[in-house]
Structure 1
Amino acid sequence: MKCRDEVTVSNDHVSSPAPSDQTLQQKSNRNGYLMLAVILGPMIAAYLVFKTGLGMPTGTINKGELLTPAKLLFELNATDVDGNAVNWDQFEAHWRFLVPIMSPCEADCEQALYLTRQVHKRLNEKYPKVARWVLVDRALWNPALAQTLANEYQDSETLLVDAAEWHQWLAQTNSRDAIYYMVDNQGFAMMFYQRQHSGNDLLADIKRMLKLTREH
């Protein structure tokens, strides 16, 4: 009787066979894929939402209108005012206000230039973190406009493009009646503003963006 008990106890302590190297490798691979999915999944989803607008929430805290899909400004065949092709790599990674002039600069254009300039000034110590661009249709570029921008819109960069290319560039977006845009620090136009937007709207948006990307 005692022997049978000892045998039973002994059997209770028999360990199961050790997993093979192949099983351990498969488990390790599964864990690695799972970790990769956890890390990259949200990043890929956020990128797709940002680029396509798919799944973008309708109620956001932004004052401006989200441009969907966001458009990379560097896709445009822009030149400087002397006709030299723009090397986009020369520009620092700043947030930017972009004012397009694709028709004679009248009330809306003048409002966009004035408002973006004043908001830029109101950034105070954050002024250097933001740049201003004016994008002008080549057919409209003339000495009078050049003088106006030099006098009233200092510290801005003026680039020339063909109006047809500009409109084609925006054709598949939701941009409508926009008088100026916000461009992120990677060169994507990602928000647009209409005449009803105030300077306070733009100021609130750019401050929020600078706070979110304060490392730049």
Structure 2
Amino acid sequence: MSGFNSSDASFARASSPPPERAAAEPLGLSVHGLPAAGEAMQAVQRTRSGRWQMIGVLLVCAAPVIASYFTYYVVRPEGRRNFGELIQPQRALPDVQARTLAGASVPLASLKGQWLLVSVAGGQCNAACEEHLYLQRQLRESLGREKDRLDWVWLVNDAAQPPAALAPAMAQGQVLRVDGQALAGWLEPAPGQRIEDHLYLVDPMGHWMMRMPASLDKSTAAKAKRDLDRLLRAASSWDTAGRPDAAAPTR
């Protein structure tokens, strides 16, 4: 027994490496999947560069619009006075469905792409409503060759049906039925006035940006026309007649 144990011990000593040799052989470690520091930095720089390029493209596209509004709102000759009240901040067309008088559904946002001169009234259309419809038509016609850049719109805020006698006038503009609460969240009258008391001007991007005084009538229509002329002239570098992306709503 003792001889057998002695042989095992000798074999173990013979097969083990010397201590100094084992210490001299370091462990090998490998790291996988980590990009070089230079490559990671280049990826970050490419991402930043792409973002700045995107911002630059957006600014180039928006520059004409910004310039025209800057000209109108800021760079004003001494003594210039607007007849209409500029709205700050401007309010975008709400994302709601309107209806034609025949009942067809129309997104209100489909009115974008044209300047809009908007009136609001119930379907019965009292004397003040008829006066607004007349002024809307006359102001548009007074623009001459620029009139195709502006549409006049009557937004009916109740369920009443307009009188048949108004059919010839309505055929010249847009008449849509819109929920009264949705309109109240977009258009706002001057203090002490009703939403039906004003004409509202909306730019081609769908922003309500001017409110005509409740005192607007035939005797002051020329002042409203001056505002329209100035705005159309300021926007001439980027605005053209007609809706580029969608047809006008069915009347």
Instruction: State the SS of the aligned residue for 2:204.
Output: coil
TM (norm. structure 2) is 0.55
Is this contact kept in 2: 1:67–1:174, CA < 8 A? no
* Partner of residue 35, structure 2: none
Which structure has more helix as a fraction of its residues? 1
Select the structure of larger CA radius of gyration.
Answer: 2
Structure 2 partner of 1:73: 93
- 1:95 Cα shift? 0.7
Aligned to 1:150: 167
Structure 2: stretches of 5+ with no match in the other structure: 1-40, 42-47, 70-78, 241-251
Shift of 1:108: 2.2
Count of equivalent residues: 170
Task: Report what 2:222 is aligned to.
Answer: 200
Quote the offset at 1:107 in angstroms: 3.0
| Residue 13 of structure 1: aligned partner | none
Contact preservation (8 Å) 2:93, 2:186: no
Residue 107 of structure 1 corresponds to: 127
Does structure 2 conserve the Cα–Cα contact (< 8 Å) formed by 1:116 and 1:199?
Answer: no
Which of 117, 120, 123 does residue 97 from structure 1 map onto?
117
Counterpart Cα distance in 1 of 2:91 and 2:112? 18
Distance in 2 between the 1:78 and 1:60 partners? 37
- 1:101–1:109 contact (8 Å) kept in structure 2: yes
Task: Determine the C-alpha separation between the residues in 2 that align with 1:174 and 1:210.
Answer: 24
Alignment-mate amino acid for residue 205 of structure 1: D
1:102–1:136: 8 Å Cα contact kept in structure 2? yes
Extract structure 1 runs of 4+ deviating beyond 6 A. none
Contact 1:109 1:179 (C-alpha < 8 Å) held by counterparts: no
Deviates more, 1:125-134 or 1:104-113: 104-113
User: Matched residues in 2 for 1:161 and 1:175: separation?
Assistant: 21
SS in 2 for 1:165: helix
Contact conserved, 1:78 with 1:161, CA < 8 A, in 2? yes
Partner residue of 1:5? none
Distance 1:117 1:132 in 2: 7
SS of residue in 2 equivalent to 1:86? strand
Report Cα offsets for 1:21-60 as digits up to 9, x if no partner. Answer: x9xxxxxx9xxx9xx89x97xx8xx98xx9xxxxxxxx97
Per-residue deviation, 1:159: 0.7
Q: CA deviation at 1:193?
A: 1.5
For residue 139 of structure 1, give the secondary structure of its aligned residue in structure 2. coil
State the one-letter code of the partner of 1:185. P
Number of the residue aligned with 1:139: 159
Q: Separation in 2 of the partners of 1:96 and 1:118?
A: 14
In 1, the alpha carbon distance for the partners of 2:172 and 2:143 equals 14
Q: 1:92 to 1:167 in 2, by over 3 A?
A: closer
